[in-house]
Amino acid sequence: MKYLDYSLTEIIEKLKGGEVTSVELVKECFERIKETADLNALNSTYEKEALARAKAIDETRGRGEDVGVLGGVPVVLKDNINYLGTRTTCASKFLENFISPYTATCAQKLHDAGAIVIAKANMDEFAMGSSNENSAFGPVKNPVDNTRVPGGSSGGSACTVKARQCFMSLGTDTGGSIREPSSFCGVVGIKPTYGRVSRYGVVAFASSLDQVGPLTRTVRDNALALSIIAGADPMDMTSSQTEVPNYLSDIDKGVKGLKIGMPSQFFTDKLSPSVRSSLDKAIEWYRENGAEIVPVELPSVDTALAVYYVISSAEAASNLARFDGVKYGVRAENYEDVVDLYFKSRTQGFGKEVKRRIMLGNYVLSSGYYDAFYRKAKRVQKVIRQEFLSALEKCDCLISPTTATPAFKLGEKANDHVAMYLTDIFTVPVNIAGVPALSLPCGVDEEGLPIGMQLIGKHFDEAMLYRVANAFELAHKEGK
């Protein structure tokens, strides 16, 4: 491995300076992908197409023409992001052979910036899960310890970046699916403000919570990647018109004089001792470097998980109604009538966790229960959101652990879905409030397992998260 240890930012410079060609990079990625195939991070790979595109980009560059900010850089997309002509499976048997009929806006923006999509990453089926064990194509292994989960649902996206199969990936986050795997694998991942990145062409799980975000090995790389994919999109009416700032302009300003809020509800006795001590050290570091740590309260945050499972399942049940065996995806072979066709196709096509969410979602939306569950959850969501806004008025951002423990063992929580849901206890409230949050490595436990800290920001203030994260990363260096 010659070049894959470099960060995205570094490799862009090397490509520009002619030290390496895009063809060489793509070849190295595929060597590495083959070497580390047992991680099962990828659902589809595009070696021939990627090499052809790399060759074309090298030639364009050779002629002195513009190749874009990411000109010739190999990237990976989560397998729920459409990219024309490639398979988009959502790691579901239902879409095993589904070919993207068009390209998602986020993928198009990467493409237009010159990136080369080399593969689609494995994930939990339809992005439902926290361990990547819900994939129809088998679990992904944590690249740091192969007996452990990489986290989910963007487990393949985190794994492929950590395992150095590529320079960056995209994931999606509805309740923690970028941040939790980033934390478990030791990479940097951001869930941008709701509306910051277009969802057009990304297969919907819970439309009011879903966001796309980049996973990278450094904070600076992440800021660069977000600046490329962010922005308004006429194809997504929930995408925001708010201008995209330059995320790199303030990134080196340090933390002196900043206020970092510490929500007491996120520092419970449920934290494992290694997570607790890593967070304590990080907070101490911020204090020593001139930030003021202010205590803040999020009194209703313990209701967020319940609110999340009502709202996200309700939306999932509606979104997944389109998978009926008629329009696309698998169709059951022997059926009696159209109802039987729906029933059999859905029974055969969906995995267990997806069925559980659909049943839960239809239940909370059904007449008689709608008020008691769905409407109530939407009301509590407003309270949680308001609490975040009030807490964030007192400071520039919040700090918390991303997860209560480092990565757990494969199979450990597979039969206990409540324990699995509890993994997201610190990440879910952020989606409920719609604010941005980033996870970055902040140490390892006694076994060398990565520990992540979460920085939570004001709406559309991703720049602050990058600034605060970058200061820590530069001083600790292990984040790369």
Residues designated catalytic: 78, 153, 177
Contacts with ligand GLN by CB under 6 A: the residue count is 13
Build a one-symbol-per-residue string for 417-456: x at contacts with ligand GLN by CB under 6 A, - elsewhere. Answer: -------x--------------------------------
Mutual orientation of helices 22-35 and 47-62 as an angle, nearest 10°?
160
Using rule CB under 6 A, residue 361 touches ligand GLN: no
Among the listed ranges 39-47, 172-180, 220-228, 265-273, the one in contact with ligand GLN (CB under 6 A) is 172-180
DSSP states along 288-329? HTTPEEEEE--TTGGGHHHHHHHHHHHHHHHHGGG-SSSSSS
Closest by CA position to 38, among listed 197, 200, 150, 176: 150
Q: Which stretch binds ligand GLN (CB under 6 A): 25-33, 128-136, 292-300, 391-399?
A: 128-136
Question: Which positions from 277 through 316 interact with ligand GLN, judged by CB under 6 A?
Answer: 312
- Does 128 sit near ligand GLN (CB under 6 A)? yes
- The contacts of residue 81 (CB under 8 Å, 6+ apart) are 88, 104, 106, 107, 120, 170, 172, 201, 202, 203, 212
381: contact with ligand GLN by CB under 6 A:
no
142 is a contact residue toward ligand GLN (CB under 6 A) = no
- State the nearest-atom distance from the C-beta of 353 to ligand GLN, in Å: 8
Helices (H), 120-243: 155-162, 179-185, 219-229
What DSSP assignment string belongs to 50-66? HHHHHHHHHHHHHTT--
Nearer to ligand GLN, 119 or 310 (CB): 310
Q: Provide the H-helix boundaries in 42-131.
A: 47-62, 105-112
Q: Compute the least distance from the CB of residue 316 to ligand GLN, in Å.
A: 8
SS3 label, residue 47: helix
Task: Tell me which residue has its CB nearest to ligand GLN.
Answer: 177
- Among 30, 205, 408, 460, interactor with ligand GLN by CB under 6 A: 205
Residue 164 vs 357, nearer CB to ligand GLN? 357
285 or 363, CB closer to ligand GLN? 363
- Decide whether 221 or 424 has the Cβ nearer to ligand GLN: 424
From candidates 88, 130, 402, 454, binder to ligand GLN by CB under 6 A: 130
Name the residue nearer to ligand GLN (CB basis): 202 or 271: 202
What residues pair up with 78 in beta bridges, in sequence order?
121
Pair of tokens at residue 459: 């709406």
Instruction: State which residue, 127 or 190, has the beta carbon closest to ligand GLN.
Output: 127
Return d(Cα 380, Cα 269) in angstroms, integer.
25
DSSP annotation string for 202-229? BPPSSTTT-EEEEEESSHHHHHHHHHHH
C-alpha distances in angstroms, 124 versus 133, 140, 163, 180, 222? 6, 9, 19, 13, 23
367 prior amide bond cis, ω within 30: no
E strand or H helix at 38, and its extent? none
**Nearer to ligand GLN by C-beta: 130 or 381?**
130
Per CB under 6 A, does 177 bind ligand GLN? yes
* Contacting range for ligand GLN; rule: CB under 6 A; set: 156-164, 174-182, 391-399, 460-468: 174-182
Is residue 174 at the binding interface for ligand GLN, with CB under 6 A as the rule?
Answer: yes
Q: CB of 264: closest distance to ligand GLN in angstroms?
A: 24
Establish if 153 lies at the interface with ligand GLN (CB under 6 A): yes
Tokens of 76: 């990976």
Our finding on whether 175 is near ligand GLN (CB under 6 A) is: yes
Assess 247 for contact with ligand GLN (CB under 6 A): no
Q: Which two tokens stand for residue 279?
A: 């967070």
Residues contributing to the site for ligand GLN (CB under 6 A): 127-130, 153, 173-177, 205, 312, 424
